[in-house]
Homo-oligomer: A and B are copies of this chain.
Amino acid sequence: MPEYTPPLRDMQFVIHELFDAQSTFKGLPSYQEIDQETMNQIFEEAGKFASEIAFPLNQIGDHEGCTRADDGSVKTPTGFKEAYKQYIEGGWPSLSCDPQFGGQGLPQLVNSVLYEMLNSANQAWTMYPGLSHGAYECLHAHGTPEQKKMYLEKLVSGHWTGTMCLTEPHCGTDLGLLKTKAEPLADGNYSITGTKIFISSGEHDLAENIVHLVLARLPDSPKGSKGISLFAVPKFIVNADGSLGTRNPVTCGSLEHKMGIHGNATCVMNFDGAIGTLVGEPHKGLNAMFVMMNAARLGVGMQSLGLTEVAYQNSAAYAKERLQMRSLTGAKEPEKAADPIIVHPDVRRMLLTQRAYAEGGRAFTYWIALMIDTELNHPDESIRKETGEMVALLTPIIKAFLTDNAFTATNEGLQVFGGHGYIVEWGMEQYVRDARINMIYEGTNTIQSLDLLGRKVLGDMGKKLTKFGKIIETFIEEEGVRKEMQEFIDPLADIASKVEKLTKEIGMKAMMNHEEVGAAAVPYLRTVGHLIYAYLFARMAKIALANKSSDDPFYKAKLNTARFYFDKLLPETAMLIRQARAGSKSLMAMPAEFF
C-alpha cells in the first residue's frame, strides 16, 4: 500500500545548488568530465530501479522473510533474486567502483544518491548489495594483488557478494574478546574455525559466490584487540582460472528471527576449518576492517535517510486524504464530511519533523559523500588528509544522529496514520521496525558518541572540531550582516558558541574523571548534530531567500522547513546541553546491586 517517488528535485537542489558538486569535481582529476546532466540522468534511472523494482518487494520481504533449508542453504523472499539479477544487469553495483576492476568510476556522491533511493525502497534488500560494496572497498584498500585479482571484478559486477563477519555470541562491541581461530596452513592459506553471529546477507541465493571478510585470531596473537587479523573466506573456493571449486566449510547454522529487516538473511555462520587468505597484515585486522566499518556507518546513515524520506512521503499523502475533525479555526473544506487532517497543527508538526530530518539528513550525507570524493581523489595530499579528518570527525555523527532521527521520523509517520499505522498492511510500522536496527548495528549509537567525543574531539584536544567550526564561523560572519538571514544566523551563532563552551567544559571535567566522557557523550553527539543541521538549514535558507521571487514553490517550502527546524527541532539542544552538563554523578552513584 505505501508509495515512493524518488525526491529528485531535492536531491538536485542539494547537489547542484547547495554544494555545487560539479565545481568540486572539476578539481578532482577522476571526475572532471562529470556534468550535472549526466548525474541527473543517472539519478532518474536509479530512481526507476528503486521505485519500480526494489520497492514493490519491500512488504513481501517483510512478510515472507528468509528461509533456511536443512542443508544450510538460504532462500530469499519472492522476487529478491530476480530484482538482484536486474540490478547487476543494470550495472548498478559498479557505479562508483574502480574502472581497473570493471567499475564505472563515478563519485561516491552518485552512489550515495542511489543508496538513498534503494533504502527508501527496500532496506532489507539493499543490504545484500550494500555489504558487498563494503567488502569491495575493504579488499580494494587492503587486499593483496592476488586477492584483488580473485575477488574484485566479481564484487564490482555483483556476481559475487560480500559480508563482514565480526560479532560472536559473547562479543559485539568488544571485539578484543573474539575467539574465532585462524591456523596457518603449509600452502600459505589459513584454516578458520569459529562461530559468528548477526551476519547480514551471510548466506542467500542471489549470487554465485559469497566472500566473507572474517576477523579471527592467529595462534601467536597478542591478547585483546591488537591480536586480531582479517581473512577473506569464500563460500566456494576459487580456482586459479577464476572458476568456482569446492564448497568451503562455512555454513549458515541458523537464521535469526528479528524485529525487522526480515528480507535480509541475518545468519549464524559456522566456520569449520574454512580456507581463507590473510587480508592486510597479521594482527592488524581491525584497522583493515575499519575501512569497511566507516563505509558501513555512512551506509547506515543512508538507510536511515531513506526510511525517513519514504515515511514522510506516505504520511504526508495520508494527511492530505484522511478526513477527520475540523480545523481549530473553522472548517477548511466545508463541502466535505470533515477536513483533511493536514489542517491540524500537531499533524503538521509530525510531518515537518520527518521532512526536516529528511532534508537535513540529505544535505549532511551528500556533503560527506562529496568530502569522501575529495579525500580519495584530490591531487593535493594535504587537502586529502584534511578532508579525511573531517570525514572521520563526522562519520559517527552521521551514524548516530541520522539513525536516531529516523526512528523518531518513522514513528511520527506511523502516528499520523493513527490506528492504521499499527496495522501491517499500511506499511508504516515496518519502517519503524526496520529503522530500529540502525541505532544498533555497525557500532551502537553509544559507541558512536564515545568515538566522537572521546577519540575524535577530545583525542586531539578539539583540533578537528575547531577546524570544522571555522567553516561555520566563516558563514556566520559572511551572512550575519544580512537582515533577512538574521532569523537563522542568530540561533546558529548561539548553538555554535554553546558547543564550543560545552566541549571545553567536558574536556576539563574529563581530565579529572574519565566517566564524564561516558556520561556526556550521547547528548553531546546530538548537540553537534544539531549544530550541523542548523548550519545546513541556514545555508539552504539562504538559497531559498535568493530565489524568493521564483514561481517554483520548492524554495518557499524549503524556507518554511528551515524555519520549522529552527523553531521546533533545534530547541532539543536546550535539553541536551543540560543533560551533558549534569555529568556522571547521578549515573554512577548507585551500586550495581541496587539495580
**Interface of A toward B, CB cutoff 8 Å:** 167, 170-174, 177, 197-198, 256-260, 316, 319-320, 323-325, 327-329, 337-338, 340, 342-349, 351-352, 355, 407, 411, 414-415, 418-419, 421-425, 429, 432-433, 436-437, 439-441, 444-446, 449-450, 513-515, 517-519, 521-522, 553, 556-557, 560-561, 563-564, 566-568, 571-575, 578-579, 582-595
Contact of A198 among B419, B522, B587 (CB under 8 A): B419
Chain B residues near A171: list those with CB within 8 A: 324
Within 8 Å CB of A177, what residues of B?
323-324, 337-338
* Other-chain contact of A582, B259, B514, B567, B575 (Cβ < 8 Å): B567
Check A345/B588 contact, CB under 8 A, given A174-B325, A594-B557.
yes
Residues B345 and A584 in contact, CB atoms below 8 Å apart: yes
Most buried by B among A316, A345, A449: A345
Complex CA distance for A595 and B316, rounded to whole angstroms: 6
Contacts of A514 on B, CB cut-off 8 Å? 328-329
Complex interface: chain B residues within 8 A of A324 (CB) = 171-174, 177
- Give the residues in chain B near A515, CB-CB below 8 Å: 327-329, 345
Which residues from chain B contact A513 at a C-beta distance below 8 Å? 329
**Contact present for A346 and B521 (CB under 8 Å):** yes
A571 surroundings in chain B (CB, below 8 A): 574-575, 578-579, 582
Besides the contacts A352-B590, A415-B446, what 7 more A-B pairs have beta carbons closer than 8 Å?
A257-B424, A259-B429, A415-B440, A553-B594, A557-B590, A568-B587, A572-B575
Verify A423–B567 contact, CB threshold 8 A.
Answer: no
B441:A170 contact, CB within 8 angstroms = no
A324 to B450 alpha-carbon distance, docked (Å): 15
In the complex, A574 Cα to B172 Cα: how many Å?
A: 36
Write out the residue numbers on chain B whose beta carbons fall within 8 Å of the beta carbon of A519: 345-346, 349
* Contact (Cβ within 8 A) A418 B590: no
- Across the interface, which residues of B come within 8 angstroms of A344, CB to CB? 446, 518
Q: What's the Cα separation between A444 and B316 when bound, in Å?
A: 18
CA distance A258 to B419 in the complex (A): 10
Copies of the chain in the assembly: 2
Expressed in whole angstroms, the minimum distance between the Cβ of A348 and any Cβ of chain B is 4
Across-interface contacts of A351 in B (CB, < 8 A): 595
Q: Closest CB of chain B to A152's CB: distance in Å?
A: 29
A352, B579: Cα distance in complex, Å: 13
- If A419-B172, A586-B560 touch, does A346 touch B522 (CB 8 Å cutoff)? yes
- B575 contacts A346, CB within 8 Å? no
A496 to B142, CA, bound (A): 60
In the bound assembly, the distance between CA atoms of A323 and B590 in angstroms comes to: 19
Cβ-defined partner of A320 (8 Å) among B342, B567, B579, B592: B592
Contact yes or no, B518 A345, CB < 8 A: yes
Residues of B contacting A584 with CB < 8 Å? 345
Rounded to whole angstroms, the CA-CA distance of A260 and B419 in the bound complex is 12
Decide if A590 touches B560 in the complex (CB within 8 Å): yes
- B418 and A440 within 8 A (CB): yes
**Residue in B172, B258, B522, B557 whose CB lies within 8 Å of A349:** B522
List chain B residues, Cβ under 8 A from A446.
344, 346-347, 415
Whether A348 contacts B587 by the Cβ 8 Å rule is yes
**Which 3 A-B pairs have CB atoms at the shortest separation, nearest pair first?**
A345-B518, A571-B578, A259-B429
Q: Shortest CB–CB separation between residue A63 and chain B, in angstroms?
A: 9
Chain B residue with Cβ nearest A344: B518
Are the C-beta atoms of A419 and B432 separated by less than 8 Å?
A: no
Indicate if the CB atoms of A429 and B436 lie closer than 8 Å: yes
Q: Is there an interface contact between A595 and B440, defined as CB atoms closer than 8 Å?
A: no
Given contacts A173-B325, A449-B346, contact A419 B436 (CB under 8 A): no
User: With A173-B418, A513-B329 as given contacts, are A589 and B560 in contact (CB-CB < 8 Å)?
Assistant: yes
Q: Report the separation of the CA atoms of residues A444 and B341 in the bound assembly, to the nearest whole angstrom.
A: 13
Return 29 A-B CB contacts under 8 Å, by A number.
Answer: A171-B324, A174-B323, A177-B323, A177-B324, A256-B424, A259-B423, A319-B595, A320-B593, A328-B518, A329-B514, A329-B515, A346-B449, A348-B587, A348-B590, A349-B522, A352-B587, A352-B590, A411-B436, A414-B436, A415-B445, A418-B440, A422-B440, A560-B589, A564-B586, A566-B586, A567-B579, A568-B582, A568-B587, A571-B579
How far apart sit A6 and B593, CA to CA, in the bound complex (Å)?
Answer: 17
- Asked if A518 and B346 sit within 8 Å, CB to CB, the answer is yes
Q: A515-B345, A568-B582 are in contact. Are A415 and B439 (CB under 8 A)?
A: yes
**B contact residues around A432 at 8 Å (CB):** 259, 436
CB distance from A575 to the nearest CB of B (A): 4
Provide the bound-state CA to CA distance between A443 and B574, in Å.
30
Contact of A257 among B325, B425, B522 (CB under 8 A): B425
Given A259-B424, A446-B346, A518-B346: A563 touches B589 (CB 8 Å cut-off): yes
Closest chain B residue to A439, Cβ basis: B415
| Across-interface contacts of A445 in B (CB, < 8 A) | 415
